[in-house]
Homo-oligomer: A and B are copies of this chain.
Amino acid sequence: MAGEFDLIARYFTRPPRAGATAGDGASRALAGVALGIGDDCALLQPTAGMQLAVSTDMLVEGRHFLSTVPPDRLGHKALAVNLSDLAACGAEPLAFTLALALPRGDEAFLAPFARGLFALADAYHIELAGGDTTAGPLNICITVFGQVPAGQALLRSGARPGDELWVSGSALGDARLALEAFRGRAQLPGDGFETVRRAMELPQPRVALGLALRGVASSAIDLSDGLLGDLGHVLKRSGVGAVVDVDALPRSAHLAAQAGPLQHECLLAGGDDYELLFTAPAAAHAAVRAAGKAAGVALSRCGRIEAAPGLRVVDAAGRAVATPWHAFDHFA
């Protein structure tokens, strides 16, 4: 079995990208990684005037992914859920660190894991700046770095009464539907299972949309714990309430074919969607549509912010919809 240093070298060290300065921490004109893997610290150089956006997520088997996930998809997802946090802040991705605990120095896992991870990193032109590898129960902890002009980050605290509520994507709840299919609670004919499984295992972070929404959206959050729970964070931080039209939430044909209560559960309390939920003044409606078009992401207006506190879910006819679920809680 290969030793720690060998494993790091083999799977996680890559030649510097063109344009990156090697070695000794000299400043560089471009933002990014001035010094990468191989020293006590990595050195990051944000562009002058930018704030550094930082987010960290820890993924544990059985909590954040199933043991059935192919390692290349797990590598993708571990980075995608972190990039989704940058997207929700409107930050431009710069770099990430990876800390990895593995039961064994297992090449059959590491090779495809690294392949999936770096494929997504390359798509966003970001570098692995540093990390740590150890033996232990499987645990993946990624910290991601982005930059955003000072004062322009999209926050949870900016929703105002009268704002429209928007959600990205066209298949909200499919990740949860996949989980229910694994659990045997949902049946999916034909290629339905493989399609929703991709939603769960290969989420696409909405980075381009987050950037396009700077100066347009009044607040934003990424959907990781379920729409109602995540919207609750926005309402609490903003000191407002909201009404959500469940019939306006975008769903796939696979989800639309399920029974009504399961549809509602997947849409409203699903988790693992990694879509952006955001608010914008009604006057910015056209600007929101333009941002979605520029980013190539479908957007649905699904509610509005109100001054009265609380979260009310209705159907297209305005009737109250029952919401007997709790936000996903990793200790529940």
Interface residues of A (CB under 8 A from B): 1-5, 7, 23-27, 34-35, 38-46, 48, 51-58, 60-64, 85-86, 88-89, 91, 97-101, 104-105, 129-137, 139, 141, 143, 145-146, 148, 150-153, 155-158, 220-222, 237, 327, 329-332
The reply to whether A43 and B148 contact each other, CB–CB distance below 8 Å, is yes
Given A58-B141, A139-B58, does the pair A40, B97 have CB atoms closer than 8 Å? no
Report which residue of A40, A62, A63 has the largest number of chain B beta carbons within 10 angstroms of its beta carbon.
A40
The reply to whether A155 and B101 contact each other, CB–CB distance below 8 Å, is no
Q: Tell me the bound Cα distance from A222 to B4 in angstroms.
A: 18
Q: Tell me the bound Cα distance from A186 to B301 in angstroms.
A: 69
Q: Tell me the bound Cα distance from A131 to B148 in angstroms.
A: 20
The reply to whether B155 and A63 contact each other, CB–CB distance below 8 Å, is no
Given A27-B150, A58-B100, does the pair A38, B3 have CB atoms closer than 8 Å? no
The reply to whether A27 and B141 contact each other, CB–CB distance below 8 Å, is no
The reply to whether A54 and B145 contact each other, CB–CB distance below 8 Å, is yes
The reply to whether B35 and A43 contact each other, CB–CB distance below 8 Å, is no
- 29 A-B pairs whose Cβ atoms sit less than 8 Å apart in the complex: A2-B331, A3-B332, A4-B331, A4-B332, A23-B155, A25-B51, A25-B155, A26-B151, A41-B53, A41-B88, A43-B54, A43-B148, A43-B153, A54-B129, A54-B145, A56-B130, A58-B141, A60-B101, A60-B134, A60-B139, A62-B136, A63-B135, A101-B139, A105-B331, A132-B141, A133-B330, A135-B330, A135-B331, A141-B141
